[in-house]
């Protein structure tokens, strides 16, 4: 070893040689660390691409997070994803199935055809900065409380990594990204399914930002979203109430009857409503009032019976208040169809990728977020763990997703990665804060890696695709015929802006 003093005494030529040697050793150490171990299937191509592209996708997810656009008007968010995919060699079809913000991006040719779902709509009223305390960026503004900013970006990053692999290995296969707008109530995927956009797709891979890492085995609930509009007659509420007929009375009568019937429906059913229009002033008998209902059940056959009953209650409410009622199906989704074959493949890949590891700054942020929960038993380390694969679970209530309709048309598997702080509630300000930070980015990069490894496994092991399809056919049954819960309605493009 040269001491500092002796190094100073070395002539210029010698100095240059030593500096060069140090530089070579540093650069080779870095490339050793950055390069993934070569795998037999060449999957390191996809993983290396994602490791090198973290800053690109961090920037992209934060741009969409800032846009926080609502369902069917998520124009800039959709454009940002399409631009990224187009620049990476995908062919884009936009404005699909009557939805200006829907798109299908395709790369490659031949079978199997693998589809990845991407969402990018935000939620109203959830504006929030990336800080661990309540601080809206815009009072009453929208925010990514469901983390769809990282959802769309993780899906696109995964597809581009898969494209790198298809291109470099010259493997046969097609990768498609389905840009599916308005998941939060608009049901973009249902229109895509109805228009046949998923025809010819062999397998669909789906993810969602979560508080942990695991494959979804829960089949969720089927849902029907219905607006009941009541029409009465306006009159001075004190001067000539006898000349008026209150549309709000119609709404309240319906709500009252539903609150009675709730006791007599299967306990896993869920019925909830809000009144977006209840009149304008107490001294005017409301001529118009509207109530929005979400009706859910783990089985769509039971859901259909519930909807019939509530429709009858609406007719009764109109009759009893001498008003008129009009029903509008805003949206409707199937419950999910599970696929064990695909769940097992995906579980292995999720275990290979592992959980999300926080740096000191992210850990401090997450600890502050956890202090804002009511529960005291939240385990931060769960972000790093991958849950063991559970058994298929029929929901007892719970949420719904338009992924349901996709899953009854193509074998589908869903998983989550820790893009939120463990333990946080869905649709919360805490989720908006985490999803817009590097925690969200780490979650989406992990998701993109899981997509890559799963797709590569399916491209190179065609028997798995066959088994998944056989299982799908068996679960669906020979007599299954898809009929969307939307009827023939066109996409409710104004559902977020309707007054
Ligand atoms: Zn969501």
Predicted confidence (pLDDT) per residue in 141-156, tens digit: 999 999 999 999 999 9
Max CA-CA distance within the chain? 107
pLDDT (mean) for 205-216: 97
Q: How many angstroms separate the CA atoms of 249 and 317, rounded? A: 8
CA 427 to centroid of ligand 1, rounded, Å? 8
Half-sphere exposure (Cβ direction) of 341: Cα atoms closer than 13 Å: 21
For residue 380, the CA-to-ligand 1 centroid distance in Å is 22
pLDDT at residue 375, as a whole number: 72
pLDDT number for residue 396? 85
b/e sequence 413-447, b meaning 16+ C-beta within 10 Å: bbbbbbbbbbbbeebbbbbbbbbbbbbbbbbbbbb
Give me the pLDDT at residue 22, please.
46
Mean per-residue pLDDT, 246-265: 97
- pLDDT tens, position by position, 273-314: 999 999 999 999 999 999 999 999 999 999 999 999 999 999
Q: What is the mean pLDDT of residues 463-479?
A: 97
The two tokens of residue 365 are 């942020």
Number of H helices, E strands in the chain: 15, 11
By the 10 Å C-beta count (0-12 exposed, 13-18 middle, 19+ buried), 476 is classed as middle
Ligand 1 center to 39 CA (angstroms): 34
Q: Separation of 90 CA from ligand 1 center, angstroms? A: 25
The pLDDT value recorded for residue 185 is 85
Q: Could you give the C-alpha distances from 248 to 64, 88, 231, 320, in angstroms and in order?
A: 39, 54, 9, 12
C-alpha 379 to ligand 1 mean position (Å): 23
Give the DSSP letter string of 343-409.
HHHHHHHHHHH------HHHHHHHHHHHHTSS-S---GGGGT-BPPP---B--SS----THHHHHTT
Q: Kindly indicate the confidence band of residue 108, based on its pLDDT and cuts at 50, 70 and 90.
A: very high
**Predicted local distance difference test score (pLDDT) of residue 358:** 95
Nearest to 419 by CA among 119, 183, 204, 101: 119
How far, in Å, CA of 220 to CA of 337, rounded?
A: 9
Distance 147 CA to ligand 1 centre (A): 7
**pTM of the predicted model, to two decimals?**
0.88
CA of residue 183 to ligand 1 center, whole Å: 7
Closest by Cα among 292, 270, 289 to 279: 289
Q: What number of CA atoms fall less than 13 Å from residue 292's CA on the CB side?
A: 12
Range 12-23 average pLDDT:
49
Residue 400 in this model has a pLDDT that exceeds 60: yes
Q: How many CA atoms lie within 13 A of 445 on its CB side?
A: 24
Alpha helical stretches, state H, 170-264? 188-194, 247-261
pLDDT of residue 374: 76
Measuring CA to CA, which residue among 213, 151, 156, 194 is closest to residue 354? 213
Q: For residue 423, is pLDDT > 80?
A: yes
Q: From ligand 1's centre to the CA of 247, what distance in Å? A: 34
**In angstroms, what is the span from residue 323 Cα to ligand 1's centroid?**
37
pLDDT tens-digit series, residues 356-388 = 999 999 999 999 999 998 776 678 889 999 999
Query: Of the ranges 44-53, 337-346, 420-429, 444-453, which one carries the lowest mean pLDDT score?
Result: 420-429
C-alpha–C-alpha distance, residues 24 and 30, integer Å: 10
Is residue 185 within 8 A of residue 146, CB to CB? The reply is: no
User: Ligand 1 centre from 428 Cα, in Å?
Assistant: 12
- What's the token pair of residue 470? 């056989």
Compute the average pLDDT of residues 347-353.
98
**Residue 448 structure tokens:** 């993109």
Token couple for 101: 């913000």
For the cut 60, the answer to whether the pLDDT of residue 7 exceeds it is no
Q: Calculate how far, in angstroms, residue 146's C-alpha sits from the geometric centre of ligand 1.
A: 4
Q: 32-79, pLDDT tens digit by residue?
A: 334 456 778 899 999 999 999 999 999 999 999 999 999 999 999 999
Query: What is the secondary structure of 255-282 as a DSSP string?
Result: HHHHHHHGGGS-TT-EEEEEEEE--S-T
pLDDT value at residue 395: 81
Region for 297 from its dihedrals, namely left if φ exceeds 0, alpha if ψ lies in -120 to 50, beta otherwise? beta
- Res 14 pLDDT > 60: no
Question: Does residue 11 register a pLDDT over 70?
Answer: no
Judged against a pLDDT cut of 90, whether residue 239 lies above it is answered with yes
What is the average pLDDT across 214-225?
96
Instruction: Quickly state the pLDDT bin for 5 (edges 50, 70, 90).
Output: very low
pLDDT tens figures, 156-178: 999 999 999 999 999 999 999 99
Q: What does DSSP say about strands 214-215 and 412-418: parallel, antiparallel, or unpaired?
A: antiparallel
Reply yes or no on whether the pLDDT at 424 is more than 70: yes
Asked whether the predicted pLDDT for residue 18 surpasses 70, the reply is no
Pairing mode, strands 113-118 and 103-109: unpaired
The answer to whether residue 31 scores a pLDDT higher than 60 is no
Ligand 1: centre distance to CA 218 (Å): 15
Strand partners, 297: 222
Least Cα distance to 122 among 183, 172, 175, 207 occurs for 183
Residues in Cβ contact with 347 at an 8 Å cutoff, skipping those fewer than 6 apart: 215, 389
Of 253-267, 300-314, 389-403, minimum mean pLDDT range? 389-403
What pLDDT was estimated at residue 304?
96
Distance CA 486, CA 224 (A): 8
């Amino acid at each position: 070893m040269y001491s500092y003093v002796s190094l100073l005494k070395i002539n210029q030529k010698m100095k240059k040689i030593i500096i060069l040697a140090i530089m070579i050793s540093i650069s080779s150490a870095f490339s050793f660390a950055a390069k993934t171990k070569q795998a037999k299937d060449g999957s390191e191509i996809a993983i290396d691409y994602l490791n090198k592209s973290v800053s690109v996708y961090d920037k992209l997810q934060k741009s969409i997070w800032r846009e926080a656009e609502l369902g069917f008007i998520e124009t800039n968010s959709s454009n940002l994803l399409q631009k990224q995919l187009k620049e990476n060699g995908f062919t884009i079809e936009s404005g699909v199935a009557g939805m200006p913000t829907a798109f299908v991006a395709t790369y490659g040719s031949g079978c199997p055809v693998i589809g990845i779902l991407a969402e990018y709509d935000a939620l109203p009223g959830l504006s929030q900065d990336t800080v661990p305390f309540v601080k809206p960026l815009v009072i009453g503004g929208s925010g990514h409380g469901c983390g769809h900013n990282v959802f769309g970006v993780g899906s696109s990053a995964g597809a581009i990594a898969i494209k790198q692999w298809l291109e470099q290995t010259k493997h046969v296969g097609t990768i498609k990204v389905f840009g599916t707008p308005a998941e939060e109530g608009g049901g973009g995927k249902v229109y895509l399914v109805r228009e046949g956009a998923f025809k010819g797709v062999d397998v669909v891979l789906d993810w969602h930002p979560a508080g942990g890492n695991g494959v979804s085995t829960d089949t969720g609930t089927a849902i029907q979203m219905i607006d009941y509009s009541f029409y009465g007659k306006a009159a001075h509420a004190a001067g000539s109430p006898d000349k008026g007929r209150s549309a709000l009375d119609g709404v309240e009568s319906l709500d009252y009857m539903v609150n009675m019937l709730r006791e007599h429906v299967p306990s896993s059913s869920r019925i909830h409503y809000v009144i977006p229009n209840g009149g304008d002033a107490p001294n005017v008998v409301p001529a118009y009032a509207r109530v929005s209902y979400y009706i859910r059940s783990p089985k769509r056959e039971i859901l259909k019976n519930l909807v019939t009953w509530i429709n009858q209650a609406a007719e009764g409410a109109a009759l009893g208040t001498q008003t008129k009622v009009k029903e509008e199906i805003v949206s409707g989704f199937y419950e999910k169809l599970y696929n064990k074959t695909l769940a097992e493949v995906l579980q292995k890949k999720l275990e290979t990728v592992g959980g999300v590891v926080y740096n000191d700054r992210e850990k401090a942020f997450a600890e502050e977020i956890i202090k804002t929960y009511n529960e005291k038993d939240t385990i931060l380390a769960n972000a790093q763990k991958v849950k063991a694969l559970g058994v298929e679970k029929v929901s007892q209530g719970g949420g719904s997703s338009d992924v349901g309709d996709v899953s009854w048309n193509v074998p589908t598997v869903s998983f989550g990665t820790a893009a939120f702080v463990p333990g946080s509630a869905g649709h919360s300000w805490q989720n908006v804060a985490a999803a817009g930070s590097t925690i969200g980015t780490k979650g989406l990069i992990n998701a993109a890696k899981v997509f890559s490894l799963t797709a590569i496994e399916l491209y190179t092991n065609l028997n798995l695709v066959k088994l998944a399809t056989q299982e799908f056919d068996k679960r669906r049954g020979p007599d299954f015929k898809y009929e969307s819960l939307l009827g023939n309605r066109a996409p409710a493009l104004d559902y977020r802006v309707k007054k």
